Amino acid sequence: MRILIVDDHGIVREGLKSLLQNQSGVEVVGEGEDGQIAVELAEQLSPDVVIMDMSMPNLNGIEATRLILQHRPNTKVIILSMHSDGHIVKEALVAGASAYVLKSNLFDEMLRALEAVAEGGRYLSPRITDVVIDDYVGKSAEGEPAKTSKLTSRERQIVQLVAEGKTIKEIALILHISPKTADSNRRQIMNKLGFSSVPELTKYAIREGLTSLEF
């Protein structure tokens, strides 16, 4: 099993490598520190599994999952996160993640998650299973889609970059678009979501798990 590890904290990457290197049939083929690098390395290294943090700068793990699976649909993605909110877990699963492991139980649960996805199954940290079910039941009863469902993957990345304090020029450089297009996209997103200020957009990004601002 070829594994790519992506986390913006070096100590987490090292801990995972130490855990995995003693496992038979497992090879860590690469590592990275943000979602954009994850997408590039997945294309270059063809891993069977990507173990990836959800909260990373520039491109979070959920959006990186969407992009990776567009080109490599057979790749399995295990999301690592501090968030146990049901709607955030649901976003990760909708994006295509095969497993969602809470960082508080990372080293206790990772091998079980790997075994599950290797067999074609899914894995959720036991602590969040009830939360996800309750959230699903609640949302079904309300019958109202979340605001994130209104946004494209590119728009969610722009929201993340704005929330992280990136300037229009920096956003344009990261996304390889013109500053005029970046500014136009930001305005369109705010209109779509009904926000009139960047602080509102930032609070929304944190609430929806697009960024944590604690990298």
Domain spans of the chain?
2-140, 147-207
For position 132, what pLDDT does the model report? Answer: 62
Please, what is the angle between helix 10-20 and helix 106-118, to 10°? Answer: 60
The amino acid at 205: A
126: Cα within 13 Å, side-chain hemisphere? 4
Overall fold of domain 2-140:
Rossmann fold (3.40.50)
For position 141, what pLDDT does the model report? Answer: 44
Give CA–CA dist 77/134, Å, rounded. 24
For position 106, what pLDDT does the model report? Answer: 87
Q: Which tokens belong to 199?
A: 């602080």
Give CA–CA dist 33/170, Å, rounded. 19
Tell me which residues of the chain have a pLDDT lower than 70. Answer: 129-149, 212-215
The amino acid at 58: N
CATH architecture for residues 147-207: Orthogonal Bundle (1.10)
Judge residue 40's burial from the number of C-beta atoms within 10 Å of its C-beta, 0-12 exposed, 13-18 middle, 19 or more buried: middle
Whether the predicted model's global pTM rises above the 0.85 cut: no
For position 140, what pLDDT does the model report? Answer: 44
Question: Quick one: DSSP state of residue 52?
Answer: E
Q: Which residues contact 178 (CB under 8 A, 6 or more apart)?
A: 172
Contact 134, 86 (CB under 8 A): yes
